[in-house]
Structure 1
Amino acid sequence: MEPGLIWILAGLLALGAELVLPGVYLVWAGLAAIGTGLAIVVSGPASDWGFGWHVALFLVLLATGVALSLRHRRNGPTRRVNAPEAGLAGRRATILSTPDGALRVRLGDSEWPARLPRGVLGAVPGTAVRVEAVDGLVLVVRPIEGEAQPGAPS
């Protein structure tokens, strides 16, 4: 069997293995092997490069593919799916009463530890707040202006 076809077959096997074992590791090796095989086939049987040149071409194509992938990943958008802060900023929550006095809020069907920004005085349970930011797993909340505070004179 011709060396170019062996490289192409090895690349197709690597791509097939990537479908079974996903992780984006075998994609670059498979594409580099296919590229090496195509280069050997296109160059024709008259030019016998030798196995050392085949491996060198494969490694160059592999390094190029990985470098382009890393460059694209760095320049692409960074989305944190299923991260605590994903979509929480700007949402409305309610301050809960806790026996230990720690600030907690109810947001949707969950309770979150919370804190107020600097310079904002403590809020009483039942106060409506808006999430301004997320600091680790702690929500930074601020009372919503214009809404009646519980226990405040109307």
Structure 2
Amino acid sequence: MPDWLANMEPHWAWLSLGVLLAAAEIVAPGFFLIWVGAAAVVTGVIAWVVPLSVPLQLGIFAALSFVALYGGRRWLKANPITTTDPHLNQRGGRLVGEVLTVTKAIEDGRGRAKVGDGEWPVRGPDVAEGTKVRVVSADGGVLVVEPA
């Protein structure tokens, strides 16, 4: 073990761990590491103010982690994060209501339609190429259409 690590005050280790966990939450978001990081920071502050043995610090960290995770989970359940854009990252959902041009005739319920500068697979009643259709829903990567 390096000398600098062996001589480090425990509170600095806890504070460093808390900052690293908060940074990890930014890199790999999941709204989990931030609570454990907060518990590490609080443990570091407690260890700074009151000299405690390392096993007691580990016990405090474990208890604070549990309380922070449980409290954060309850708070998120009571205050869900809502979005102003319910179709964020759902390109097919964003196309509902749009009028498209069929580029490959819909036969046996399947065809293709022009969307922007590309084509998407579509499903709906049989229509000829060049027909205008309206998107009524999206089923995965397939747009469900009806004649416009």
- TM-score using structure 2 length: 0.67
Partner of 2:45: 38
The correspondence for 2:144, drawn from 140, 143, 146, is 140
CA drift of 1:69 comes to 5.4
Q: 2:81 aligns with which of 71, 76, 85?
A: 76
Structure with the bigger percentage of helix: 2
Q: How does 1:1-154 map to 2 (within 5 A)?
A: 2-15=9-22, 18=24, 22-24=27-29, 26-42=33-49, 44-45=50-51, 48=52, 50-67=53-70, 68=72, 72=76, 75-77=80-82, 81-98=88-105, 102-116=110-124, 121-144=125-148
**For the structure 1 residues 9 and 126, does the alpha-carbon distance in structure 2 shift closer, same or farther, using more than 3 Å as the test?**
closer
Please give the secondary structure, in 2, of the residue aligned with 1:97.
strand
Please report how far the alpha carbon of residue 131 of structure 1 lies from its aligned counterpart in structure 2 after TM superposition. 0.8
Alpha-carbon separation, structure 2, partners of 1:11 and 1:99 = 57
Q: State the 1:98 CA deviation.
A: 4.7
State the alpha-carbon separation in 1 of the partners of residues 133 and 87 from structure 2.
24
Gaps of 5+ in 2: 1-7
Q: How many residues align?
A: 134
CA distance in 2, matches of 1:99, 1:37: 65
**The structure with more strand, counted as a fraction of residues:** 2
CA distance in 1, matches of 2:87, 2:42: 34
Deviations 1:87-117 (A, max 9, x none): 111111111235977421112112111112x
Report the Cα offset of residue 2 of structure 1: 4.9
Residue 80 and residue 11 in structure 1: after superposition, are their counterparts in 2 closer, same or farther (change >3 A)? same
Q: TM-score normalized by structure 1?
A: 0.64
**Is contact 2:93–2:138 with CA below 8 Å preserved after alignment?**
no
Q: Which has the larger radius of gyration?
A: 1
Alignment-mate amino acid for residue 115 of structure 1: R
Amino acid at match of 1:75: P
